[in-house]
Amino acid sequence: MRPWGFNPQKLSAAIATHAHIDHIGALHQFQEEFGVKVIAHQLETIHIPGHTAGGIAVYVDMEKRIPFGQDIHGPYFFPGADPGQAKISLERLIDLEADILCEGHFGIYQPKAVVKRYIEQYLFSLY
């Protein structure tokens, strides 16, 4: 993190969106070294199973609605994934009418119309 200009000592919390190793592998280290609180299912959440059974996206409503999540892009055809549930979850995300989307692997999307198109491309790929 430091090579990218981020100081982990400034972290107060980390959000665990689901239990894949690339998302939880270093959480214990962050707790031990920096006192980071691990958060899962305590914020405004929308359950989005599909990529994984316990997937969530957290969101905030400030001046704009901003969800944070990784499970949007799938993949939905690996062991443990459920494409049928993914369709329902992606519809839920579209129904949020987010102004900005912070997608864990592929970046930040805005405005609202771009967010909707981004989610829809993955939804339509499941049909």
- In the chain, the N- to C-terminal Cα span, in Å, equals 38
- The CATH number of residue 41's host domain is 3.60.15.10
Do residues 59 and 91 make contact, with C-beta atoms less than 8 angstroms apart?
A: no
Total domains present in the chain: 1
Q: Which residues pair with 37 in a beta bridge?
A: 13
Residue 124: per-residue pLDDT: 97
Would the pTM of this model clear 0.85, i.e. be above it? no
Enclosing domain of residue 120: 2-124
The pLDDT, as a whole number, for residue 14 is 84
Which pLDDT belongs to residue 7?
A: 84
| Low-confidence spans in the chain with pLDDT less than 50 | none
Identify the pLDDT of residue 105: 84
pLDDT at 1: 67
